Structure 1
């Protein structure tokens, strides 16, 4: 992931380009062409193609704050995915999803902490979104995206604490009463953020899905924020007409 200036952005009805990478909607598929550089400790080119085929596309927008300054948009909560990157062992296919967050304010101004999880289920895909807002209120969203594309609002099962991440980020998710969720695969571990594959149980069914925990008190720290530049390089002067060497 690379931060780039406005000169590196182009959009059209079916294409979204940021620098040398782009996302293209082709019929019923989203094709993501990646041409980036990895961050330490995996420095080097990251190139290839990811093809995502949604089971369905929703029109749902979930406000995360009462004022609507932040919105979660689950475009395709259930999808087939095919990954073909130019590195040995980085080719696979399976179950995936596609979502996005939009906002008009800084996350750390409106939230102190949140967790999110999406779990494939026999009835579709289950998503849990929980957050602590700066104003003292909380967010508690549980949704079942059924296999036929219908969306059902859930009475979320209890929050259950999980083992902290390697950086000691607090983690929790939803699970049936008496069940203990566990991480089954680490994906990303940072001082303020954890992303992993987690096994939990919902409505009596064990599921494994993607889980994230975000500590925005840590993120807003004057010590932590500068560290992002080490992981996310900046190419403010990149241009489509004369792109400089990466």
Structure 2
């Protein structure tokens, strides 16, 4: 969770008996997601890592559109990506840390039949709200070395259509030397405005860029799964992703 006056990190692994899932709710330990018919309500009751500060608050995601299609990211369909709400209004009210804000947002889901690191070496993803549509760009390299890419626009009703990928554009490496790459209109050089998360195998950033003839701010992520698989990174994970047994 990042914001204008504070940040917190919480990602705790929990056992199967602490999971409850239904048609309109998902509970994981003390935290939960529920759907009230119009809004996704996310209740966060966690502790940060490595320093155990409380992370408490409520996030409300009100979709402006619902995406009904999940996209296969590999020929066998073992990995799927579903842009559930390509455009949404998000309201965040945190008590720990004490921050709140609201603005346009997005909600998606990756799911599959094997771990991500078994299927991919890396990927780069970005999303930008255009005046009328939402642009989502996705590309990477599978574990077998084959590339994949998606370039989509979603209209106000959530309908999607393929578009031509904009031109490749380089970005500076992260502090952990992760390669970042994106797409932009030909002749335009995107700029990293802020990097919110700079981890040994993952980075999430805000970009100032130009897409489909519009100057936009984009959310961008790079995921280095080859780095994630390394024994050194695996040994570091428990300090940031603790495992609870209750």
TM-score per shorter chain, which class? over 0.9
Report deviation, 1:90.
1.5
User: 1:27 & 1:134 partners in 2: Cα distance?
Assistant: 39
* 1:199 counterpart residue number: 208
Indicate the SS of the match to 1:66.
Answer: coil
* 1:242 counterpart residue number: none
The reply to whether residue 9 of structure 1 matches residue 12 of structure 2 is no
Listed as ranges, the gaps of 5+ residues in structure 1 are 239-246
Aligned counterpart for 1:122 among listed residues 131, 143, 159: 131
The reply to whether residue 149 of structure 1 matches residue 166 of structure 2 is no
User: 2:60 & 2:186 partners in 1: Cα distance?
Assistant: 37
Listed as ranges, the gaps of 5+ residues in structure 2 are 1-10
* 2:50 counterpart residue number: 40
User: 1:235 & 1:135 partners in 2: Cα distance?
Assistant: 34
Does the 8 Å CA contact 2:33/2:43 hold for their aligned counterparts?
A: yes
After superposition, the CA RMSD in angstroms is: 1.2
The reply to whether residue 95 of structure 1 matches residue 66 of structure 2 is no
Report deviation, 1:105.
1.5
User: 2:162 & 2:211 partners in 1: Cα distance?
Assistant: 14
* 2:236 counterpart residue number: 227
User: 2:138 & 2:73 partners in 1: Cα distance?
Assistant: 9
Q: How does 1:30-179 map to 2 (within 5 A)?
A: 30-40=40-50, 43-87=52-96, 90-179=99-188
Report deviation, 1:39.
1.4
Report deviation, 1:89.
5.1
User: 1:70 & 1:220 partners in 2: Cα distance?
Assistant: 18
Tell me how many residue pairs correspond in the alignment.
236
Report deviation, 1:121.
0.7
Question: Could you give the per-residue CA deviations for residues 151-209 of structure 1, whole angstroms, max 9, x where no partner exists?
Answer: 12110101111011111100011101111111112111111111111121112211112
Moved more, 191-200 or 14-23: 191-200
Report deviation, 1:88.
5.5
Question: Could you give the per-residue CA deviations for residues 17-61 of structure 1, whole angstroms, max 9, x where no partner exists?
Answer: 0000000101110000000001135x3000010000000111111
Q: Which runs of 4+ in 1 moved over 3 A?
A: none
